[in-house]
Each structure stands twice: as structure tokens, then as C-alpha cells.
A and B are shown apart, each in its own frame.
Chain A
């Protein structure tokens, strides 16, 4: 992903998100759960975008293995990073909704909550796993395999958890998702678009930050080499970024 058009993208994100929130708050009807039901317009898009990001990370991991291009590894890393942040937000908003709708912050009989928590915990191990490997190239390769394995795990896990549930509990979300009336669907879609745009903006920002940090580290190494009369810049001085060492040189 390139970082061109970041400013325009940020403005578009802000506008769409503001429109989505305004539509959800003022236009959408209030159902039997009252105002707290509005969290639905943030919670469900957050979950959808987070899962899509995990799957995109798996695809980027696959492309990294195929091409050995560190940019794909950086993309995979940043996708997982932002998706984990989105996942934490999904869990928190989901718990607020559960407290309002069912009276408990955590409901073990609700497969959506449980399966999402398992996926979140798995991706939370990405960081200790990745940084436990010292060699940079090996780290990138192993992280890609993790991204592919975990990406395939996501649908399998949802299926297994859903099957373990006997479906005796009322499926509040199923009825809501099954037949969203037009007055709810439009604000929902705008919120989804807004949060997806926010995701892309955050991904681009983080990639830009990593690339800049890498460039700064390389330039300062060159300056030091020129000043001290060192023969060559030492390898592995990019202290700014812990991933994708060769990213800035492409």
C-alpha cells in the first residue's frame, strides 16, 4: 500500500464517519432495547472490518512467502496490528451490548462473543511469537506462516463454536441481521464504510511511519559513516522499526 493521498483519505474518513454516526444517532429507529442498541452500528462494522483485516493479513503473508518481498510482510504485520486494535474495540462494545441486552458483561452461550475472543487471543500471541525470533528474515517468514495459519483458522473456529451452541438461546443478532429494514440498513452501511476507511487510513499511517523511521535510521547511519570515515554503514542499525529491515530501500 502506498501512502499517496493520505490527506484526502483522512478527510473522507472523517466525513463518512461523522455522517454514519449522525445517521445512526438521529435517523435510525430505536427498538425495544433503547438507545444502547445504537452501539450495534459501531460494534458489528468493527467486527467485520477486523476479520476482513485478519484474512487480508493471511493473503499478504502468502504473497510474502511467494515473492520474498518485505513490503508484503510489513503489510501483513500492520493489518494484524490494526485488526487487533479493532478486535479489542469489538470485544468492549460487544460486552457493553451484552450487559444491556442480557444483563451480563460476558455470556458464554453466545457463540459470536466466544469465537471472537478465541480469535483475538490467538492474534494477541502474534507479538510475543514474532519478537521471540531474532533473525529478521526468519522472523518475517515465520510471521507469514502464522498469518496464513491463523487466517485459515478464523472460519473453522467460528464454525466449531457455533456448532457447540445448541441454539436454544434467542439469536438477537440473527433476527437483526436477517431483515434489516431500510431505515436501519443505510446508516449501518455508512458506518461500515466509515470504519473501513478509518482502517485503511490507520494502516497507511502506520506503514508511512515505519518507512520514515527506516529511512531516518539509514540516513543517520550513512551520515555517521561519512563523518567517522567508516567504510560502510553497519547492517541492522534501523533502530526506528523492529520489522521489515529492507522496506525503505525499495
Chain B
């Protein structure tokens, strides 16, 4: 148990340290999202968004930015032998899933820390919906981190890595996106935040998170076997 916790913190710390030193994923994700907002501004020909339009633009952008990060979660492990090292280490394999999912969760949060204020500055009249939006973001990030880690670990060992991640992630994230956009649309309403069914959608997010964290955690040892 103790060695699991040590392995977990070691992997998380290693990943965060490499990201801070090389900056391989985060700047790309942020840049992508901000550019996408500009494209949306001209594509939709709107300067102010509210309701379901705002929720759609925000979540489509965040989901696609997440794909960029998910593509690279396991890339260093494969290229630089991290998988072999982990297989040799006398620790539970599921620890790697938990560590990578937590790292991905932190990445998504860091990206949103920059991207959501930019979105609000670009498109929103009132910022009153932003504090409760944090709960939706956290719920959706947990789910994306779980399926993203699962998909990334499968895709990294295949030929069509860059193709497989979006192909698998998009249909799998539909329930997550339904819940997140439905909750966000009400929060970003032009007439001010509206909390009808807000709790229900958070519950759906929590259910999704619970199921896919369990699936990922329990099947991960079969993904690492060789």
C-alpha cells in the first residue's frame, strides 16, 4: 500500500516536472483553444454568446483541446522506455492508471484556468455563471481524464495512434458532453444563471466518472501486460 502511494506520487511528480521543463502539451492545448475561439467568432459571426450556443462553443473547444493532450499522455513512456521500467518495478499496475489520469486531470484544469477566462472575455456579457461552472468543469474533467487515459494507453501501442484517440474518444464522451453542455447552457443564459436540473446533470457527470474510473482502474493491468 505504502509502495503504491510512493509510486503514484513519483509518477505524478515526474510527469509534472517533465511537462514544466519541456512544455510539450500545455501551451499547444491553450493555443489551440484560443485560436478555435477566434475561428468560432468569425464562423458564427457573433461577438456575444449565451445559452446553448456558448456552452457548445466552450465544450467543443475544450474537448478538442483535450484530444491534443490525450494523444501525448503515454508518448514519453513508449519512446523512452517508461513502460518497461514500470513493468519491472514491484508495484501494482493500476497505480500507473491512477497517476496518469490525475496528471491528465491537472493538465485539463491548467488549460481551463487560462482558456475559460479568455472565453468569458471574448464572448460573455456577464460573468455570474462562472463560479458554478467550476463544478461542471471538474466533473467533466474527471471523466475525460479517465477515458482519456484508458484510450491513450490502448492507442499508443497501435499503428494509427493519432487517428484512434479522437475516433474512440468522441463517441465515448457523448454522455459527458450532453451533461456538461446542458448544465453550462443554463448557467450562461442571457438572463443570468439558472439552476434548474443543475444537480441532476452533476449527478450524471458523477455517475459517468465513477463508472469509467472503475473500468480504467480494474482493466489497466491487462493493458500493460506483455
Inter-chain contact A125/B167, CB cutoff 8 Å: yes
Q: Please report B residues at the A interface, Cβ cutoff 8 Å.
A: 147, 150, 154-155, 157-160, 163-164, 167-168, 171-172, 174-175, 178-179, 182, 200, 204, 207-208, 211-212, 215, 219, 222-223, 225-226
Please tell me which stretch of A96-104, A132-140, A175-183, A239-247 contacts chain B, meaning at least 4 of its Cβ atoms lie within 8 angstroms of it: A132-140
For the complex, give the distance between the alpha carbons of A150 and B222 in Å. Answer: 17
Q: Which of these, B179, B215, B222, contacts A152 with CB under 8 Å? A: B215
Q: Which of these, B168, B200, B207, B208, contacts A129 with CB under 8 Å? A: B168
7 other contacts beyond A132-B164, A133-B154, A141-B223, with CB at 8 A cut-off?
A128-B163, A129-B158, A129-B168, A138-B157, A145-B222, A149-B172, A160-B179
Q: Which of these, A125, A156, A157, contacts B168 with CB under 8 Å? A: A125
- Known A152-B211, A152-B215; judge A145-B204 contact (CB<8 A): no
Q: Which of A207-225 contact B (CB under 8 A)?
A: none
Inter-chain contact B174/A129, CB cutoff 8 Å: no
B residues in contact with A125, CB < 8 Å? 164, 167-168, 171
Inter-chain contact B182/A164, CB cutoff 8 Å: yes
For the complex, give the distance between the alpha carbons of A146 and B168 in Å. Answer: 10
For the complex, give the distance between the alpha carbons of A157 and B143 in Å. Answer: 14
For the complex, give the distance between the alpha carbons of A200 and B171 in Å. Answer: 28
Inter-chain contact A122/B219, CB cutoff 8 Å: no
- Known A65-B222, A160-B204, A161-B178; judge A128-B167 contact (CB<8 A): yes
For the complex, give the distance between the alpha carbons of A134 and B161 in Å. Answer: 12
For the complex, give the distance between the alpha carbons of A198 and B199 in Å. Answer: 44
B residues in contact with A65, CB < 8 Å? 219, 222
> Residue A80 at the B interface, CB < 8 A?
no
Q: Which of these, B158, B168, B171, B225, contacts A141 with CB under 8 Å? A: B225
For the complex, give the distance between the alpha carbons of A156 and B204 in Å. Answer: 9
For the complex, give the distance between the alpha carbons of A182 and B18 in Å. Answer: 68
Inter-chain contact A121/B171, CB cutoff 8 Å: yes
What are 17 A-B interface contacts by the 8 Å CB criterion? A122-B168, A122-B172, A129-B168, A132-B158, A134-B158, A138-B157, A141-B225, A142-B223, A144-B222, A145-B154, A146-B154, A149-B150, A152-B215, A153-B175, A160-B175, A160-B179, A160-B208
| Closest chain B CB from A81 CB (angstroms) | 18
Q: Which of A156-201 contact B (CB under 8 A)?
A: 156-157, 159-161, 163-164
Q: Which of these, A118, A138, A156, A163, contacts B208 with CB under 8 Å? A: A156
| Closest chain B CB from A67 CB (angstroms) | 12
For the complex, give the distance between the alpha carbons of A150 and B158 in Å. Answer: 19
For the complex, give the distance between the alpha carbons of A24 and B160 in Å. Answer: 47
Interface string of A47-84 (1 = CB under 8 A from B): 00000000000000000010000000000000000000
- Known A125-B168, A149-B172, A160-B178; judge A132-B159 contact (CB<8 A): yes
Inter-chain contact B204/A163, CB cutoff 8 Å: yes
- Known A128-B167, A141-B222, A152-B211; judge A118-B174 contact (CB<8 A): yes
